[in-house]
A and B are shown apart, each in its own frame.
Chain A
């Protein structure tokens, strides 16, 4: 299939983008890395009259510490999650997840802002920003605002972005030496969207969990925190029994759908196995290096 004809405009600033958006009276789309939008146009799932290319807006680039927070520009490519020393140091969970996002060619183009704005329930980074308790920096014609990742993912491809708003950056509290994190997913093939995946990050006191955030992908219409499991481990050491307690609560938080390949029960089962493995990994690390904390 071929896309329907559309106009193209390259925005040089946020204001430029908002103006173009207003002129098109909404019959338009922002274009970042194009790795989701262009396929969607080619499949004629979307047919806007105008594409506003935001990939040249300088304000949305760069990774660095700003006012004590790690600021990741929305245009940061997936591939940079694997190469940036700032990400490795201050947000290692993003680096752990990045190899699971598609394939190198797509990672070279796709942006973290694009994947979060799109909010595909099977995408890795939306779940990761939930686990990181990140904040999202959003600009609109009326100015800038910040919002928590919690509450941003509302449903299937549904977010807290208002029409015309642009996600400009992701803000993350820098990784602390007491923090531990892990990411894994079960995908049929390397680079595929996963049947189920999860990211966890938490603060430890020696072997004891002070607080831990667990976020799942591919188990419902939006990425979701497993809050009951988080409570189950809070203040405790990750013993096999504690991990089993956490696993046993998952059905309270996750509401996976059935699809042609995988039943709901199987997804829940796999989510439990995955959580067990991730917590087991943190427990081992805490045990082995616990003395250092």
Chain B
């Protein structure tokens, strides 16, 4: 770190302390208020008739029997809602040439995935709405479903969106340096095709929404379990032709989101239209079965990649071909090509080779849409890179740590621009690698591995380095024409007794945003953090901002809160100076007291200043007008992204007779810049690792050839659970960004980014002495047995 020390570096700062969550007790006591808990007067409930087919024409809809049921208030078809709702198209301008068809809330004429909502039924209870939905008769005429990525691109393939002229949504090629030359001169070349299963977020709280349209004021209030209320205010207003200032989106308590709760969903758009048609609140909560066929899925990539290495292990070049399938449309408003784009741009990111070529093909298919989910693209790029590096090391007989040390971007190289165009301000690969080596006691583990192998116990050690994209600037979506904010806003105000409210646009979804914002405000102002209350997620109340996506709460939201509180502090000190007839610079606010900056002796409490300002401003000198509310908006302006980095290790034991794998331990060393709350950073990393291990070992949306999801329930879709999860030991390196005063970068995706890559490397390390290898996740017992030649 450079520059002068600020209050953030004080020994008693809140920054860097494991302050516990102020909302934990409330949520644990069952006093959370999720959308599902809300009961509004005159509220009705929606249920949907869904397509049983992956691809079919709708011949007819007969809802007469359902409509005749008592308690049923409305039955709406795609055509009915199309009259109200402007279609949406999931493309962005900066993805040159990308295509996607317009979408509407309910299917019109044709269905394109099994589970697509076709008819909406609104009734007095959800059960009644479901009873009525069972009576709606829809006649379908099946069309060949497009499910395979190669068949989708073959000549003569059935087209999902005939008007687009093909099933490819987007193609891009990246080419840097002299790739063919790099491969020609290589001592060794390793090639691999890796398969990544489709999976989905499985939030504890499913998607939930209540739309409440009041025709008397043409006002729409949406209580929505979303990470991006401001984005939805914009979308509901534009697509339903409502005045923006009369659209209010409130995100109450939210039980996890992971990127899944920021996309436009057909049911959610439908519910808004249904409420407008009825003039009453309409609620829809996706049940688990609906979640599996309507929440976005993610991953689903097939990457064929090659690495060229010199005899000493120096990476000379890499080449990758990624084919990814995204469902019948690209999602709105963030598209479904971001994941693939990040895959091809992040491959090789920790290393300093320059010769790189990649192709990306994004393909339509008749399955649920895919889009951004925690660590978008990172786990795939990381797994591709790190398995190739490991294989190259094995081929050359170089230790996995050593080959990485020889290739990482080093301290003398920053700022460094990757062959794919990403600029890294400063990363800390060497420090992270060294720290991990010590943390896991690598030499001892290798000795133990060798000893156990002699007893027929097959353990494996895998490591994986990662680079994570955080603090995105408008370069991420804004430049592509999306009305998605990269800035955030905060309002900080003093209550009449000298306590503090902070209204901020970043939200709380269980990750601890409220906690860190409280810490930052307390620190920025100089008050006890118990005196600060944080409010989030209400477009009528909190400032407009990007809210929660990518990794930005601490880095962008935190800096916003810091600057707003600094402004407020200056305002407070100027009032104090007027009262005390001192100079503002000679005073400071510490622990809720105005003190003499030099001696620290107390002069006046913040409560007294507030009392005077709010109730006895007549006693202040003329011309003093106290401003005890301050606001600030902040957008990243320096580097387009604040990249972070780290390295993970995974230790497994493979039962080579059954293909079952025991995950023994995971270690993570990560660098997210300045750490505001170590406990929360470690929670983020642990949760992220568990999601990555889920991808590696358990989670996969399994489809039949005709596009039916076969395991759409929590009995069949396996999420990782506590008993199978190992201890996860975490250590930190801190390289604050110089772009902000706070210096924080993101940490929410670090765990997910490399966990599955480390796991694949660990399993291959365990089974390679048996001449076996695996390159598909999840690594199920079945797949492992195949790899081992057993089944």
Contact = CB atoms under 8 A, between A and B. Distances in A.
Interface in A206-237: none
Nearest to A268: B791
A2 B290 CA distance: 12
B718 interface: yes
A261 B125 CA distance: 37
Given A4-B127, A186-B660, A188-B698, A260 B710 contact: yes
A94 to B, nearest CB: 22
B297 to A, nearest CB: 16
Interface in B693-751: 698, 702, 704, 710-711, 715-716, 718, 720-721, 723-724
A45 B781 CA distance: 30
A190 B785 CA distance: 20
Interface in B280-329: 287, 289
Contacts of B33: none
A192 B718 contact: yes
A269 B791 contact: yes
Given A2-B126, A2-B130, A269-B791, A262 B782 contact: yes
A174 to B, nearest CB: 33
A49 to B, nearest CB: 14
A256 to B, nearest CB: 12
A44 B130 contact: yes
A260 B791 CA distance: 15
Given A5-B127, A44-B130, A266 B782 contact: yes
B601 interface: no
Contact of A273 (B125, B127, B658, B721): B658
Contacts of B782: 261-263, 266
B781 A195 contact: yes
A246 to B, nearest CB: 16
Contacts of B660: 186
A186 B655 CA distance: 11
Interface string A186-199: 10111111010000
Contacts of A5: 127
Contact of B781 (A2, A3, A186, A192): A186
A261 B780 contact: yes
Contacts of A266: 659, 781-782, 785, 790-791
A248 interface: no
B205 interface: no
Contacts of B127: 2-5
A38 interface: no
A192 to B, nearest CB: 7
B791 A263 contact: yes
A189 B791 contact: no
B131 interface: yes
Interface string A256-285: 000011110110011001000000000000
A189 B130 contact: no
A43 interface: yes
Q: How many of chain A's residues touch chain B, expressed as a range? A: 20 to 34
A1 interface: yes
A186 B718 contact: no
A189 B658 contact: no
Interface in A33-68: 43-44
A4 B791 contact: no
Given A265-B791, A266-B782, A190 B721 contact: yes
B450 to A, nearest CB: 25
Interface residues of B, number: 30
A260 B701 CA distance: 10
Residue with the highest number of chain B CB atoms closer than 10 Å, among A3, A4, A266, A273: A266
B661 to A, nearest CB: 10
A101 to B, nearest CB: 14
B280 to A, nearest CB: 20
B658 A43 contact: no
A16 to B, nearest CB: 28
Residue with the highest number of chain B CB atoms closer than 10 Å, among A2, A263, A265, A273: A2
B217 interface: no
B71 to A, nearest CB: 11
Interface string B762-791: 000000000000000000111001000011
Given A1-B289, A2-B127, A266-B785, A273 B718 contact: no
Given A266-B781, A269-B785, A190 B724 contact: yes
A260 B658 contact: no
Contacts of B126: 2
Contacts of B289: 1, 43
Nearest to B129: A2
A4 B125 CA distance: 11
B310 to A, nearest CB: 42
B657 interface: yes
A273 B655 CA distance: 11
Residue with the highest number of chain B CB atoms closer than 10 Å, among A4, A44, A262, A270: A270
Contacts of B723: 189-191
Contacts of B658: 186, 270, 273
A4 B131 contact: yes
B65 to A, nearest CB: 16
Contacts of A191: 721, 723
Nearest to B780: A261
Interface string A1-36: 111110000000000000000000000000000000
A190 B723 CA distance: 6
B724 A260 contact: no
Contacts of A260: 702, 704, 710-711, 716
3 shortest interchain CB distances as A-B pairs? A2-B127, A190-B723, A266-B791
Interface of B: 125-127, 130-131, 134, 287, 289, 657-660, 698, 702, 704, 710-711, 715-716, 718, 720-721, 723-724, 780-782, 785, 790-791
29 contacts: A1-B287, A1-B289, A2-B126, A2-B127, A4-B127, A4-B131, A5-B127, A44-B130, A186-B660, A188-B698, A188-B718, A188-B781, A189-B698, A189-B718, A189-B720, A189-B723, A191-B723, A192-B718, A261-B782, A262-B781, A263-B791, A265-B791, A266-B659, A266-B781, A266-B782, A266-B785, A266-B790, A269-B790, A273-B658
Interface of A: 1-5, 43-44, 186, 188-193, 195, 260-263, 265-266, 269-270, 273
Given A189-B723, A191-B721, A266-B782, 13 more contacts: A2-B125, A5-B127, A43-B289, A189-B720, A190-B721, A193-B715, A260-B704, A261-B702, A262-B782, A265-B791, A266-B781, A269-B785, A269-B790
